[in-house]
Amino acid sequence: MSTTEPAFKFRPDDPDAPFVPDPALLSPRLIEVKNALVDAVSGVFRDKKITYDEYEKFRQVMMLLQEFKGVHGWFDIWLAKMVDASYEDEWPGTTSQPEGPLYVPGAPVLTPEADGSYVLPQRDDEQGTPLIISGQVRSMRDGTPLACAEFDIWQCADTGIYSNFGMDDSPAWNLRGKFRTDPEGRYELRTIKPVPYMTPGIPQLILDIWNGLGKAHFRPAHVHMKLRHGDLPGGEYMTQMYFKGDPYLGDNDPGENSQSSLEVGTTRHSDPEELKARGLEKYSSFLTTTFDIEVETVTK
């Protein structure tokens, strides 16, 4: 018979013995924050006279989010930005953004074109307007380029659908890929301009809340960018690139993450010679934009 103490007990050894917390396990900080949160939420309940029916609807929302595996997204919307210094107006660098629910690890490493640029995997007849993004990744501390920083990119297609989730017939890793910046921290990537999209499977109760808040059901078009480099705190940084003039930006964004500092303008090119030089003869035009990324770096 094993004499090992079980990790889990169904009952205390002595049901009548008083409980004494282990001082070595106590966290004054946790107690302080928990009590402050309870006081703050209690104040809202009292001030706004929250009814039981309203509380019950909130509880149902949280249960749905748990089933949908979207609780983390809820915290990203409401709380993450409160502890992210890059959301502050005086932040000198590129605002960070949450990963979101549609990231898939393991995207293919792209092979550079003859000119050193990259092309995201896409179908031969990929619909939409080609988009060429170029820029530089550098330290916001002193402007030092981040050479060989790894980009991990993902976005929706012109259909509004992300690959790798079985929602249509798009091939695996369509419009997903990884590549590195050059020794000057520069990059150029060709993709398809994404469109506003609705995350699949959103429960009606969530849509009802968005309706009540005056939110759209579609997130604004964006390109997800995850950066990895040894000079980044924690080795990783995430952001998203949006497009000026998108009607789903700002207060209309149900994700409440779009930031004006992350919006870019685009230039349309329709000259046949330019299209031919880019190998885009089957399209009537393509777009170009610049998206520089300035990130906090560790001091070595």
- For the cut 90, the answer to whether the pLDDT of residue 75 exceeds it is no
What's the CA gap between 300 and 231, in Å, rounded? 8
Q: What stretch of H or E contains 52?
A: helix 52-67
**Phi, then psi, of 293 in degrees rounded to 5:** -125, 120
What's the token pair of residue 63?
A: 């249960």
Q: Tell me: the pLDDT tens digits for 220-267? A: 999 999 999 999 999 999 999 999 999 999 999 998 889 999 999 999
More confident residue, 69 or 200: 200
What's the CA gap between 89 and 85, in Å, rounded? 9
What's the token pair of residue 209?
A: 């809340």
- For the cut 70, the answer to whether the pLDDT of residue 214 exceeds it is yes
Predicted pLDDT at 32? 96
More confident residue, 267 or 76: 267
What's the token pair of residue 214?
A: 């005056």
89 secondary structure, DSSP code: T
Which has the minimum average pLDDT: 57-61, 63-67, 117-121, 133-137?
63-67
- For the cut 90, the answer to whether the pLDDT of residue 66 exceeds it is no
What's the token pair of residue 47?
A: 């001030």
Q: Tell me: the pLDDT tens digits for 119-151? A: 999 999 999 999 999 999 999 999 999 999 999
Cα dihedral: 229, 130, 291, 242 (round 10):
-100
What's the token pair of residue 247?
A: 């009607």
Question: SS3 of 206, please?
Answer: helix
Q: Tell me: the pLDDT tens digits for 26-35? A: 999 999 999 9
What's the token pair of residue 133?
A: 């993004």
More confident residue, 281 or 299: 281
Is the Cβ–Cβ distance between 192 and 182 less than 8 Å? no
Is the Cβ–Cβ distance between 120 and 153 less than 8 Å? yes
What's the CA gap between 242 and 239, in Å, rounded? 10
Q: 29: exposed, middle or buried (C-beta count within 10 Å: 0-12, 13-18, 19+)?
A: exposed
Is the Cβ–Cβ distance between 137 and 149 less than 8 Å? yes
Which has the minimum average pLDDT: 46-55, 61-70, 130-139, 242-251?
61-70
Predicted pLDDT at 6? 56
The owner of tokens 């060709």 is 190
Q: Tell me: the pLDDT tens digits for 1-29? A: 455 665 788 888 899 999 999 999 999 99
Kindly report, as residue ranges, where domains of CATH 2.60.130.10 are found in the chain.
89-295
**CATH node for 89-295:** 2.60.130.10
What's the CA gap between 289 and 243, in Å, rounded? 10
- For the cut 60, the answer to whether the pLDDT of residue 295 exceeds it is yes
The predicted model gives 60-66 an average pLDDT of 84
Is the Cβ–Cβ distance between 260 and 274 less than 8 Å? no
Neighbours of 41 (CB within 10 A): 11
